Amino acid sequence: MAAKKKLSGPERLKKTVTVLRQWQGIERDAIETTAQIMEKTDNLLVRQIMEIIRNDSVQHHRVQQFLIDSITRAPVTVSHKDLAEVWGQIEAHDELERQTIALAEELKEETTEPMHTILLDYLLKDEKKHDSLLGALDKFKKHLSKLA
């Protein structure tokens, strides 16, 4: 098996933008198909799940555009000062995320309804995702501290 050729910096960035734009197309298709499914059904659970997926696809598209813009327009910079100004609020918010995780775990353990289990599992994973994003921001902040 031949080794993959490593792309140069500019080639890698061009490929990244190309793939992100392709991915955005898929997200737009997902937005459209979930809306079509929602129009075809009166089932509240199916509609709720399609709405969740649709909203996530909208957010994914926005994040992909943010990444594209950071490559094609202007790089995004973050200073230690930028984070320091709001860090207390970020930590307080992370505590709220942990509280919601605990509540979701408690409810999920107690429920016997499959529909509730599905949606509580979704909420729990989403809250854990938020906590993980804030944890990544904390690691980034620590990295910036080492550079200062």
Question: pLDDT tens, 66-75?
Answer: 999 999 999 9
pLDDT digits (tens, 9 = 90+) for 6-52: 888 889 999 999 999 999 999 999 999 999 999 999 999 999 999 99
Cα–Cα distance measured from residue 56 to residue 50, given in angstroms and rounded to the nearest whole number: 10
- Do residue 68 and residue 93 come from a single domain? no
70 and 86 both lie in a single domain: no
One domain, residues 148 and 83 = yes
Hey, what are 35's tokens? Answer: 């809306």
Domains in the chain, number: 2
Same domain, 88 and 148: yes
Domain extent, residue 112, equals 78-148
Cβ contact 31:23 at 8 Å: no
Residue 43: CB atoms within 10 Å: 12
4 domain residue, yes or no:
no
CA 75, chain centre distance (Å): 20
Q: Retrieve residue 29's tokens.
A: 């298709």
Q: For tokens 């994914």, name the residue.
A: 60
2: in domain: no
What's the CA angle centered on 95, arms 106 and 133, to 5 degrees? 95
- Structure pTM? 0.87
